[in-house]
Amino acid sequence: MPFVNWLKRKLVVIAGLLTLGYLLLPNVIVTVFSFNKPKGRFNYAWQRFSLDAWKDPCGVSDLCGSLSVSLQIAVWATLGATLLGTLIAFALVRYRFRARGAVNSLIFLPMAMPEVVMAASLLTLFLNMGAQLGFWTILIAHIMFCLSFVVTAVKARVMSMDPKLEEAARDLYAGPFQTFVRVTLPIAAPGIAAGALLAFALSFDDFIITNFNAGSTVTFPMFVWGSAQRGTPVQINVIGTAMFVVAVLFVLTSMVVGNRRNRQKA
């Protein structure tokens, strides 16, 4: 039975590719339906091909406004979380200090907490303080939950760093600041970049925590959520498809550039 044998050998590959298909199927649907011309208010059933939505991506009121709110929040949250998280990561890897266990659990807990719990408790804090819900409360919340992920990403990179490189720099009479800027930071950069990228993606796509603490401010995920009740414009699919394509192109280019650089070094 050669076929059965072949199947046995390829079982893992087939199962893995099926899972990959399951993961990518919704993206295919999102893309295909960005060319749809739906009959009613909802874009769930295929009617006929049309480029209308691609020609006019901002044609739905408030859609591009919410997109810009989301981008602004994501940029600021990324900057804040990356800065604070990198400092913590360096402290954790490079120094011995008291309360290390407490610090570690304070960083682990936000990642082990269901979002809805953090969302609800943060809202009680804001309500008790009488804070005005909006852009700033969203930003505060986003920096909070992105922080731990940045710490983990940067920590992993700094931990795998050879301390001898910094010793060498010091032996060559580099001051602590010089050593940090010219040796430590460039080596840690990929970890910091990974943390920042993760923070951006998490912040941009967050719905649950934002929904609780946004007041009347509408981010892009909140716009999509609202449209699921009122009627889904095709433009949502256009934005989703564009984001997917841009992200894949971005990663592919950075990979090609990275490969070329490595080859030049070798």
Residues within window 112-141 making contact with another protein, judged by CB under 8 A: 112-118, 120-125, 127-128, 140-141
Residue 30 sits in the site that holds another protein (CB under 8 A) = yes
Which one among 6, 7, 26, 257 touches another protein, defined by CB under 8 A? 26
The residue whose two tokens read 């997109």 is: 67
Residue 257 CB, nearest approach to another protein (Å): 12
Taken as a whole, the chain contains a residue count of 266
Please list every residue from 73 through 102 that binds another protein, using CB under 8 A: 84-85, 87-88, 90-91, 94-97
Burial class (CB in 10 A: 0-12, 13-18, 19+), 69: buried
Please list every residue from 186 through 225 that binds another protein, using CB under 8 A: 186, 189, 201, 204-205, 207-208, 211-212, 220-221, 224-225
What distances in angstroms separate CA 116 from CA 119, 211, 218, one per listed residue? 5, 10, 18
Residue 232 CB, nearest approach to another protein (Å): 6
Residue 235 sits in the site that holds another protein (CB under 8 A) = no
Closer to another protein by Cβ: residue 26 or 52: 26
Residue 13 CB, nearest approach to another protein (Å): 6
Binders of another protein: how many residues, by CB under 8 A? 93
Residue 231 sits in the site that holds another protein (CB under 8 A) = no
Residue 149 CB, nearest approach to another protein (Å): 11
Q: Which residues touch 63 (CB under 8 Å, ≥6 apart)?
A: 57, 223, 233, 235, 236, 239
Which one among 65, 181, 253, 257 touches another protein, defined by CB under 8 A? 181
Residue 22 sits in the site that holds another protein (CB under 8 A) = yes
Which one among 247, 253, 257, 260 touches another protein, defined by CB under 8 A? 247
Residue 146 CA from chain centroid, whole number: 9
Task: Please report how many Cα atoms fall inside a 13 Å half-sphere around the Cα of residue 118, on the Cβ side.
Answer: 20
Residue 58 sits in the site that holds another protein (CB under 8 A) = no
Residue 107 sits in the site that holds another protein (CB under 8 A) = yes
Quick one: tokens of 81? 């979380």
Taking the C-alpha atoms of residue 144 and residue 85, their distance in angstroms, rounded to an integer, is: 10
Residue 257 sits in the site that holds another protein (CB under 8 A) = no
Residue 99 CB, nearest approach to another protein (Å): 9
